[in-house]
Amino acid sequence: MLRIALVGAGAIAQTHAEAFLRHAHRCRIVAVCNRHTQRAQELIELLSLPAQAFASLEEAAQAVDIDAVDICLAPAQHADVTVWALEHQMDVLVEKPMANSLEECDRMIDASRRTGRKLAVIFQLRCTTPVQRVKQLLDSGRFGPVKYALVNSLWYRGDRYHDVAWRGSWELEGGGVLTTQAIHHLDLLLYLMGMPDQVTATMDNIDHDNTQCEDVVSAYLHYPDKAAQLNASLSAHGEQQELYFHTPQACLAVPWHPMAHQALENGYPIPNPEMEQAIQEAYDSIPPLEEENHLGQIANFLDALLEGGELMVDGEEGRKAIELTTAIYKSAALHQPVELPIQPDDPFYTREGKIANLPHFHEKYRSITSTLKGQIALAH
């Protein structure tokens, strides 16, 4: 029976706790840690967890035996808590984004290697049926190589969204729409198409004034033999979030939407319904996942710990999205194309270097900290 400590009992923690509860025969949440212990206590009571509330992981580790830690803290806290847990012989599952810099990611990966403990990163969209089916179809090469991909990661958040103390700060959140929202779709792009070798990007803040960070991004990703474009925004009604992978034969899309054209002699397009039907049949022939999103990824974490299964997203995989966001930020800040990989001597490799070199679109003028469920307290 794995003994789990949940660290951070805020917005996403309930989703995690409910996923672990589905595996009550394999694991037990023994500790819920939150700076405001009352918040931890509320989660324990809400879900009737067989757990004790603590203010920190260190405090919990002195009182109860812990095998694995699930970190649902603000991004700035991910690296230090992860390294501490790994060095105290605990396996770690950490929410996205893995950390606020490549240097922090590398410290986490190094600690995992040194200690032999597992490190997993949440990117729950990988664990969905459309993504897994499109991955299999692309990897099979049956419909040809991807030449062009388009990613729209469009979200809608009102201005008060950034009132939460850690949001809207390069130091604590690590970025804006790219780091917090679009990172899910960047991760899918990397998962399905790999890492580009050059990035050209631009970013701005046009609609959210309580944040230092960007709320709109546009990036062109160059590969030796293909290209991708990314659009991300925090001001988009409808929140269209979609990835299109175009091969010479067809387009495979997430959410699933088969499309195929063929070219007339003069190059103009006509629809290709036979190809669309062939793609649809191939897609339908791949079995759906039994568990999706957080449920699926937390089941995968438990499988890896208890049965030696492979992690769906380990530290190296989680780091890739941070490398791509770093390159996009660097390109947008310096107004020039950026080559990948980002090297350790690059100023953007560290959190401090990023903060020093990134534009501060606004300075935060309103911050709150949520303490009790449904109750907000003004911090400053």
Ligand X SMILES: NC(=O)c1ccc[n+]([C@@H]2O[C@H](COP(=O)([O-])OP(=O)(O)OC[C@H]3O[C@@H](n4cnc5c(N)ncnc54)[C@H](O)[C@@H]3O)[C@@H](O)[C@H]2O)c1
- The residues near 62 (Cβ < 8 Å, ≥ 6 apart) are none
318 binds ligand X (CB under 6 A): no
Q: Which stretch binds ligand X (CB under 6 A): 31-39, 206-214, 223-231, 318-326?
A: 31-39
The stretch among 35-43, 61-69, 105-113, 271-279 that binds ligand X (CB under 6 A) is 35-43
Q: Which of 5, 9, 86, 221 binds ligand X (CB under 6 A)?
A: 9
| Most distant pair of Cα atoms in the chain: their distance | 75
Which of 3-32 are b and which e, b meaning 16 or more Cβ less than 10 Å from the residue's Cβ?
A: bbbbbbbbeebbbbbebbeebeeebbbbbb
330 in Cβ contact with 324 (< 8 Å): no
Looking at residues 329 to 368 of the shown chain, list those that interact with ligand X (rule: CB under 6 A).
Answer: none
Nearer to ligand X, 258 or 318 (CB): 318
Cα dihedral across residues 139, 144, 148, 149: positive or negative: negative
Task: Provide, rounded to whole angstroms, the least separation between the CB of residue 158 and ligand X.
Answer: 16
Query: Is 33 an interacting residue with respect to ligand X (CB under 6 A)?
Result: yes
Q: In the complex, what is the shortest distance from the CB of residue 281 to ligand X, in angstroms, rounded to a whole number?
A: 32
Site for ligand X in 63-122 (CB under 6 A): 72-75, 77, 95-96, 122
Among 6, 31, 39, 295, binds ligand X (CB under 6 A): 39
For 128, 289, 333, the CA distances from 293, given in Å and listed in that order, are 6, 10, 33
**What does the block give as tokens for 342?**
């980002």
User: DSSP of 337-361, one letter per residue?
Assistant: -EESSPPTTSGGGSHHHHHHHS---
Closest distance of CB 266 from ligand X, Å: 47
What is the rounded CA–CA span in Å between residue 124 and residue 27? 20
**Nearer Cβ to ligand X (148/156):** 156
Give the separation between CA 235 and CA 237, rounded to whole angstroms.
Answer: 7
Q: Is 10 in the site for ligand X (CB under 6 A)?
A: yes
**Strands, E assignment, 186-342:** 198-204, 216-222, 227-233, 241-246, 251-254, 261-263, 269-271, 338-339
3-state secondary structure at position 53: strand
Shortest Cβ distance from residue 58 to ligand X (Å)?
A: 9
Site for ligand X in 161-220 (CB under 6 A): 164, 180
Selected from 2, 8, 146, 321, the binder of ligand X by CB under 6 A is 8
CB 295 within 8 Å of CB 312 = no
At closest approach, how far in Å is the CB of 12 from ligand X? 4
- At position 185, the amino acid (one-letter code) is H
Output the smallest distance, CB 324 to ligand X, in A: 16
Q: Which of 3, 12, 223, 242 binds ligand X (CB under 6 A)?
A: 12
CB closer to ligand X out of 6 and 146: 6
The site string for ligand X over 118-157 (x = CB under 6 A, - otherwise) reads: ----x-x---------------------------------
Identity of the residue, 73 or 216, whose beta carbon is nearer to ligand X in the bound complex: 73
Least distance from ligand X to the Cβ atom of residue 8, Å? 4
Closer residue to ligand X in complex, CB, 42/275: 42
Taking phi first (over 0 means left), then psi (-120 to 50 degrees means alpha), and beta for anything else, what does residue 267 get? Answer: left
Q: Given the rule CB under 6 A, which residues bind ligand X?
A: 7-13, 33-36, 39, 56, 72-75, 77, 95-96, 122, 124, 164, 180
